Structure 1
Amino acid sequence: MKLYVILPLWALFTNTHQKSPSDNCLCELINSEKPFPYDKLEIAQDRASRCTNNITPQKSSTLDGLMLGLDRRLLQLEKDVAILENEDDGKLFGALSLQIIENEIVEIQQLIDRLNSSTKENKNLSENMAQQLEDVKKEMEELEAFDTMQVVKRQQANQRLKRDLDRCKNNGVHPTTQPTQPTGTCPLGKFLNITGPRVQTAGEYAGSFKFGGWGRDPKPEPGKESWYWRVMLTSSNRYAHYVRLYSSLSSLIVGISVPGNVQIHPSNPTTNTIQGPNVVLYAGALYYNCYNKDSVCRFNLTSKTVTTLDLPKGTRYNSKGDFCNLEECYLYTDLDLATDESGVWVVYSTTQDFGNLLVSKVEESEPPKLGKTWRTSVYKRSVTNTFMACGVLYATRFVNKNIEEIFYSFDTTTGEENFNVGIFINKVAANLLFLNYSPVDQMLHAYCDAQMASYKVLFQSGGNSFTY
């Protein structure tokens, strides 16, 4: 039986081995499909890339900033003209008012010129891009004809299915956590979202002064309700010795500082000068981290006097407790001063609290005193910035060079913490170096790598301007 099986195998091996090497089998493959036009795909990709590079959020935000600045400047001009019409003082102050109005008209004309130029440029860009996008759309429709196996359509269907599954998962088993409900002094309800940037400008020093802060005084002195301020760290991106004032938002945008600088000290850095970018202006006084101290300084812009508030023993300073992202820390951001509807706050960390965030109320006494302190469970160096709104502390973290996330909140009224706030900020530059909330108009002011930007904070009730 075994021999009977072996013999046919041997015979098969012999016959196969003796085949002539010249008897090769050749197959000709004929593809009935047209060759794919890779050159057209490259052209479409190149056009789409040019559209992306030419149309950026900065262009639209710049136009929005100019429109907003012009609107506010015209309102201010109307008020000043009304004051001039009622003046009867022997022409002395009337002449001064005329000079102020003349300066305002010059600023308005500069804004109009910039707006006209931007509008014309954006119109030409829109027309050009619309035609290019139409061409790209036609080319992509032609290329879809080569997708005979419908790979692209299946990928699109899979993406839609994945998106629907994610929505079902988030809204079903794991509902999205809503932002903390602010209570106490805030009449606006829940913090829902932010929009913007509404304003984006480098002011008169484009590309200079990477670190700094800016904003409005929530409790301004009479006649200074429309003023804005800016602090630029001028010495090694660490120190500053003056605050720069602007009579309006449009003046800040075009870079005209009519009130000029208010100097804290002629030398920089030295005793009582500013250390770090996290400063705020409140009730005509600048609050900031004192130079080389674990203390808060308050500089009165009218009397030019400085008073000091010492923080608890163990407070981290001189870049021992900075804000950080995964790649780097922002030098001399140990103390973060903040304003909201109730006044001034200071955010910091201490060694005894293992570097976690602490927030304390700064009382408006003379000298200022430290009020109640709240302790959180979030590590300060895991945070890129903080701000206060309606008695609630909010903290941000770095997502990428374009996005920052408001991920954490702490309600000082209830003591509740929320690690899943999930509100995102569209940045104008990679590093968010300053962030502060203005209760006057519910705007969030940011300073990003020498760029100033502002965002509208959206509350549940819609929100009106806060008044004292």
Structure 2
Amino acid sequence: MICTLYFLALLSSTTAFGRMGMWSKPRNETGGGNEDRCTCDAFLPSSTFPIKDLEVVEQMAGVISQKLEVEMGKIEEYETKITSYAEKIVKLTAEIVKMEKNPDDYNDADIEDVKVELIQVEALIKELQLSIKSSTAVFQSLQVQATQMVETLNKLEKTYDKSLVLATRREYIKVQTQLEECERRHQELFFPNIGSCAHTGVSRVGKPIVSHLNAHLSTSHNFGGWGKDSKPIPERESMYWFSSYTSPYIGDIYFYSNYKNLLLRTHFQHHSLHNSYKGNGNNYILHENTLYYQLSSPFGLGKLNFTTMSYQSRVIPGASSRFSYSNSPSQIFDFSSDETGLWVTYATEESSGRMIIAKIDELSFGIVEEWMTSIYKPGVSNAFMVCGVLYVIRTVDTHTEEIFYTFDTNTKEESYISIPFERFQDKYSNLHYNPTDQKLYMYNDGYYVTYHLWFNHTASVTVETPLLLNTSVE
């Protein structure tokens, strides 16, 4: 018998990682004699593994890491300078108040001295502003480099064995975590208003930060949600949660101790809601380690506390199941959490589909107060609450969403605005605001996406949110 042996080999050398696969395929063939022959045909790949590309990515990771350490040092210097400047401003303010009350006690020389000090403080503030802009530019530059790393790694993983680039992928995760921490420190230092409502509303939405494909690594899981607890319990301040499914249904929820473990898909806790607590729709949130979500039967609100595993449900008389958001089915009850507490929006037959805002009492799980808006719910794509104000979103085109309407429950006033922002993929099933970091969390066709929100008192500082691309982590 004559057989032909085919084998495919990648040369294992300094320019190619290798593994060998071989198989035999028998076939009848007329030979020149009676002896058995084995003909070996070798097929070598057209290209070898690009180790140089991987080395470039590794070097880039090292450079970015070093630069981030420098920036973290600068932020510490900024903290010291801001404290010093604040003390000087307080002293100068007190001195000027004294002068205004007792002008006769001061001569021209005293006034001139205060003017000089004011000029010095102004110069220091301008110097600090330039430093902030410099750091912002560095963040943007580093993010561009990080994006290039992702693109290279994704390309290598699609073409070659993923295990070969795993170590470099982990190095990227380390860099991304450092960048996140540096950005967080920068945010806390220069925008220390988190938790405060001392502003007149949202002024801008940052660029989409795309962290990762969902933990199932499946684009078919395009319904779901993710984010952070809007009122975290002690020792879970850094926790992230995630849930997804192939339809608008909530069956499982996963918890991750921090952002890095979210990216690595290493959860520390998992709860199944398939049997006793199952729900549908995707506008659910986590608040004080409690899941607030939509029930399918009976149609209403569900509340599941993961600390005590206690469960509550609530039916809202008049709430209709006919009025969903335009971009996703079964989005009837939309839960929100902001600086003032818990909310849910929905529509009724009596309201003719117009959105109703309801404030939730956390203890009784009842409705405290309701407000009716003039917005027809099926005509919008989503909504969220900030400081007691409803922000409603509509789709502009295939890549753009727009915050176009607000309703202030404090004043009962509504207004039309225009704040466009970029959408990563075509559709999204969950969008909510988190008051602990002033970000929007979006589950966008299977991807984790976040947006920084900027308010009227931060709009003067031109800090642009960096863009992160998808990273698949094995």
Instruction: Place the TM-score, normalised by the shorter chain, in its bin.
Output: 0.5 to 0.7
Q: Which residue of 1 aligns with 2:323?
A: 321
Q: Which residue of 1 aligns with 2:419?
A: 423
* TM-aligned CA distance change 1:351 to 1:124, over 3 Å: closer
CA RMSD of aligned residues (A): 3.2
* TM-aligned CA distance change 1:203 to 1:272, over 3 Å: closer
Q: How does 1:100-115 map to 2 (within 5 A)?
A: none
SS at match of 2:355: strand
* TM-aligned CA distance change 1:239 to 1:122, over 3 Å: closer
Q: Which residue of 2 aligns with 1:192?
A: 203
Q: Which residue of 2 aligns with 1:204?
A: 215
Report the alpha carbon displacement of residue 364 of structure 1 after superposing the two structures with TM. Answer: 1.1
Q: Quote the Cα distance in structure 2 between the aligned partners of 1:221 and 1:121.
A: 34
AA of the residue aligned to 2:352: F
Q: Is 2:402 the counterpart of 1:405?
A: yes
Report the alpha carbon displacement of residue 414 of structure 1 after superposing the two structures with TM. Answer: 0.7
SS at match of 2:429: strand
Question: Which structure 2 segments of 5+ residues have no match?
Answer: 1-59, 73-143, 155-194, 460-474
Q: Which residue of 2 aligns with 1:220?
A: 232
Query: Which is higher, the Rg of structure 1 or of structure 2?
Result: 1
SS at match of 1:277: strand
Q: Which residue of 1 aligns with 2:333?
A: 335
Q: Which residue of 1 aligns with 2:39?
A: none
Deviations, residues 185-204 of structure 1 (Å, cap 9, x unaligned)? 61344310011213432133
Q: Quote the Cα distance in structure 1 between the aligned partners of 2:399 and 2:286.
A: 28
Judge conservation of contact 2:334–2:345 (CA < 8 Å) in 1: yes
Judge conservation of contact 1:282–1:343 (CA < 8 Å) in 2: no
Q: Which residue of 1 aligns with 2:463?
A: none
Q: Which residue of 2 aligns with 1:353?
A: 351
Report the alpha carbon displacement of residue 233 of structure 1 after superposing the two structures with TM. Answer: 2.8
Judge conservation of contact 2:196–2:339 (CA < 8 Å) in 1: yes
Report the alpha carbon displacement of residue 445 of structure 1 after superposing the two structures with TM. Answer: 0.6
Q: Is 2:372 the counterpart of 1:368?
A: no
SS at match of 1:314: coil
Q: Is 2:380 the counterpart of 1:383?
A: yes
SS at match of 2:207: strand
SS at match of 2:283: coil
Deviations, residues 193-227 of structure 1 (Å, cap 9, x unaligned)? 01121343213323131011111112111100000
Q: How does 1:171-186 map to 2 (within 5 A)?
A: 186=197
SS at match of 1:222: coil
Deviations, residues 228-259 of structure 1 (Å, cap 9, x unaligned)? 1112135xx022222111111222223222x1
Report the alpha carbon displacement of residue 291 of structure 1 after superposing the two structures with TM. Answer: 2.1
Judge conservation of contact 2:240–2:256 (CA < 8 Å) in 1: yes
Q: Which residue of 2 aligns with 1:395?
A: 392
Q: How does 1:269-348 map to 2 (within 5 A)?
A: 272-311=277-316, 313-317=317-321, 320-324=322-326, 329-348=327-346
Aligned residues between the structures:
284
Taking structure 1 as the reference length, what is the TM-score of the superposition? 0.56
Q: How does 1:225-244 map to 2 (within 5 A)?
A: 225-234=237-246, 237-244=247-254
Deviations, residues 130-149 of structure 1 (Å, cap 9, x unaligned)? xxxxxxxxxxxxxxxxxxxx
Q: Quote the Cα distance in structure 1 between the aligned partners of 2:286 and 2:214.
A: 19
Report the alpha carbon displacement of residue 387 of structure 1 after superposing the two structures with TM. Answer: 0.5
Deviations, residues 126-176 of structure 1 (Å, cap 9, x unaligned)? xxxxxxxxxxxxxxxxxxxxxxxxxxxxxxxxxxxxxxxxxxxxxxxxxxx
Q: How does 1:430-449 map to 2 (within 5 A)?
A: 430-449=426-445
* TM-aligned CA distance change 1:238 to 1:462, over 3 Å: same
Q: 2:269 aligns with which of 256, 260, 276?
A: 260
Judge conservation of contact 1:264–1:304 (CA < 8 Å) in 2: no
Q: Quote the Cα distance in structure 2 between the aligned partners of 1:189 and 1:354.
A: 30
Taking structure 2 as the reference length, what is the TM-score of the superposition? 0.55
* TM-aligned CA distance change 1:255 to 1:373, over 3 Å: same
Q: Which residue of 2 aligns with 1:60?
A: none
Q: Which residue of 1 aligns with 2:450?
A: 454
Judge conservation of contact 2:241–2:253 (CA < 8 Å) in 1: yes
Report the alpha carbon displacement of residue 303 of structure 1 after superposing the two structures with TM. Answer: 1.7
Deviations, residues 288-341 of structure 1 (Å, cap 9, x unaligned)? 011233311100012222101221x22112xx11101xxxx5111011111111
Q: Which residue of 2 aligns with 1:130?
A: none
Q: Quote the Cα distance in structure 2 between the aligned partners of 1:117 and 1:346.
A: 38
Q: 1:246 aligns with which of 243, 256, 279?
A: 256
* TM-aligned CA distance change 1:450 to 1:225, over 3 Å: same
Q: Quote the Cα distance in structure 1 between the aligned partners of 2:405 and 2:145.
A: 42
Identity of aligned residues (%): 29
SS at match of 2:301: strand
* TM-aligned CA distance change 1:256 to 1:377, over 3 Å: same
SS at match of 2:263: helix
Judge conservation of contact 2:314–2:366 (CA < 8 Å) in 1: yes
SS at match of 1:422: strand
Question: Which structure 1 segments of 5+ residues have no match?
Answer: 1-62, 76-114, 126-183, 464-468
SS at match of 2:293: strand
Q: Quote the Cα distance in structure 2 between the aligned partners of 1:294 and 1:124.
A: 46
Report the alpha carbon displacement of residue 456 of structure 1 after superposing the two structures with TM. Answer: 0.2
Report the alpha carbon displacement of residue 350 of structure 1 after superposing the two structures with TM. Answer: 0.4
AA of the residue aligned to 1:260: Q
Judge conservation of contact 1:385–1:432 (CA < 8 Å) in 2: no
Report the alpha carbon displacement of residue 281 of structure 1 after superposing the two structures with TM. Answer: 0.4
SS at match of 1:196: coil
SS at match of 2:282: coil
* TM-aligned CA distance change 1:294 to 1:122, over 3 Å: closer
Judge conservation of contact 1:288–1:296 (CA < 8 Å) in 2: yes
Q: Quote the Cα distance in structure 2 between the aligned partners of 1:305 and 1:264.
A: 13
Q: Quote the Cα distance in structure 1 between the aligned partners of 2:352 and 2:262.
A: 40
AA of the residue aligned to 2:325: F
Q: Which residue of 2 aligns with 1:139?
A: none
